[in-house]
Amino acid sequence: MENTDAETEFILLGMAEHPRLEMLLFAVILICYTMTLLGNTTIIVLSCLDPSLHTPMYFFLSNLSFLDLCFTTSLGPQMLVNFWRTKKTVTYAACMGQLYISLALGSTECILLAVMAYDRYAAVCQPLRYTAIMRQSLCFKMAAVSWASGFGNSLVQSVLTLELPLCGQNQVDHFFCEIPAFLKLACVDTSVNEAVLFSAVVVFLLAPLSLIIVSYGYITVAVVRIHTVESSRKAFNTCASHLTVVSLFYGTAIFNYSLSNGSRDQAKIISLFYTYVTTMLNPLIYTLRNKEVLKALRKKINRNATI
């Protein structure tokens, strides 16, 4: 590897020129991270303990919650500590770990959200065949493909990035280590890496989003054809939570990539939004809009209160 002479640690610049803003960000991220831990853990526990939630929808939702827990935990503690440090450093090994894990989990979420859209399509457009289509073996395979493809993409991207010589540069212009910020440290032409990264964006961001749009196109047509108001409302509520999560995640991610040649501070704030705010909102969106989850939560609370 060509980086054997690289620095043993990296300096994360973050918003070092705006210390008051960093204190505000510390408070916001601490709140978001704490609520993410509580909310997503609650969904995972409820999905495991309540038999009424042993369905494909909640299987994939549990995967999403576990993914969000891992995603925020891979970055949060180090970032919160660095907000209080004058010299915001991270070891070479920790930086590479952040780079690999954050990209792997972000890529996995893109595919998983598309899988969840297909599940909603099957539930609304093929209600009589839903249990036959979304059988347990298929659900496990779809989840496995999501995780494997995400980590496979990150492995390719990370290996290509780690092969770049840094020539002693060790200041990462971000809150955490990620590939776009890391490429700026290289002292050679990175056009090949950028081309591979762009291809990954198309495959893992734009392609799944296109599949989600197509799925919801079919869902919309199916809902319009439903004649009863109650059935239409039920079908809409089935998909509204997932569509809200998709809009938050893909909207901020695409907006962040569109700022790649613009303001770095704006891009950094947006990356914090989809890393922490969306992962905090996901369990709230699914629980507040979902009667089954609220019912399971009340049942669990009442059971514990009577013990």
Encode pLDDT of 7-19 as tens digits. 578 888 877 667 6
* Count of residues making up the chain: 307
pLDDT at 96 over 80: yes
Q: Which residues make Cβ contacts (< 8 Å) with residue 162, sequence separation at least 6?
A: 1, 3, 96
pLDDT at 69 over 90: yes
| Greater model confidence, 298 or 217 | 217
Question: If pLDDT is split at 50, 70 and 90, which confidence band does 1 have?
Answer: very low
pLDDT at 231 over 70: no
Query: Percentage of residues in the chain with pLDDT exceeding 70?
Result: 86
pLDDT digit string, tens, across residues 129-156? 999 999 999 999 999 999 999 999 999 9
Instruction: Judge whether residue 4 has pLDDT over 50.
Output: no
Q: For 16, what's the count of Cα atoms within 13 Å in the CB-facing half-sphere?
A: 15
103 or 9, which is more confident?
Answer: 103
Distance CA 97, CA 112 (A): 22
Q: Please give the C-alpha separations between residue 12 and each of 5, 102, 118, 136, 150, in angstroms, as whole numbers.
A: 19, 16, 39, 44, 25
Q: According to the model, what pLDDT value does residue 119 have?
A: 93
Show me where the domains of the chain are located: 9-306
Backbone phi, psi, residue 89, to 5°: -110, 160
pLDDT exceeds cutoff 80 at 43: yes
For tokens 């590479």, name the residue. Answer: 96
Q: What is the CA radius of gyration of the chain?
A: 21
What is the tally of helices (H) and strands (E) in the chain? Answer: 12, 3
* Class for the domain spanning 9-306: mainly alpha
pLDDT (mean) for 236-251: 82
Residue 94 has a pLDDT of: 86
Which of residues 181 and 231 earns the better pLDDT score? 181
Residue 227: pLDDT over 80: no
What's the confidence (pLDDT) of residue 141? 96
* Residue 6: pLDDT band with limits 50, 70, 90: very low
